[in-house]
Amino acid sequence: MDEEKIYQNMPEHYLLCYNEECEQAANCLRRLAAKYGSPADAVLQVVNPRLNRGLTCKYRKPKKVVTMAYGMLHTYDKVLAKDIGSLRGAIKDYFGNGSYYLRRNGKRPVTPAEQQYISKIFRSHGYADGAVFDRYVDEVEW
């Protein structure tokens, strides 16, 4: 994965670390985001370098790449009409109305844990393959 592309999706106000001497800097997302990202925030949130020391740093966030899903516009294509309302309702109950539509329209990613939950709902309705999303992208789990 290209380092610069990774940090284009960095959330606003992400907690950064500028401790270059940390033993864990090479695999800490907070340090890597500070190094490669270009935060557009006028004010940054930064971990105090005196307090974060290697393995004992409670702010350490290991860099982890996961497969995020985007969009649910075609998720119900192979679902029986009688099940669509029930499936959609259960998923809306889980996310809430606004959050559901952001994910359905591909504006917000569906995390691996959320993908599993949605697939569990599909399987409980008799769809053994679970849910299928519009597209999948490997991204850093912030």
The least confident of 4-13, 18-27, 99-108, 133-142 is 4-13
Determine the pLDDT at residue 84: 95
The least confident of 3-7, 45-49, 80-84, 109-113 is 3-7
When pLDDT is averaged across residues 75-98 and rounded to a whole number, the result is: 95
16/24 Cα distance (integer angstroms): 14
DSSP letter for each residue of 63-74 = --EEEEEE--SS
Q: What are the b/e assignments for 67-94, b being 16+ CB within 10 Å?
A: ebbbbbeebbeebeeeeeeebbebbeee
73/134 Cα distance (integer angstroms): 7
- pLDDT band at 3; cut points 50, 70, 90: low
Three-state SS at 27: helix
Model confidence, pTM:
0.77
10/123 Cα distance (integer angstroms): 33
Q: Could you tell me what percent of the chain has a pLDDT over 90?
A: 54
When pLDDT is averaged across residues 103-124 and rounded to a whole number, the result is: 96
Q: Where are the alpha helices (DSSP H) in the chain?
A: 3-6, 29-36, 81-95, 97-104, 112-124
pLDDT digits (tens, 9 = 90+) for 21-79: 888 888 899 988 888 877 677 788 898 877 776 677 888 899 888 999 999 999 999 99
Determine the pLDDT at residue 26: 87
37/46 Cα distance (integer angstroms): 14
3-state secondary structure 116-127: HHHHHHHHHCCC
Q: Which of 119, 60, 112 shows the shortest CA–CA distance to 87?
A: 119
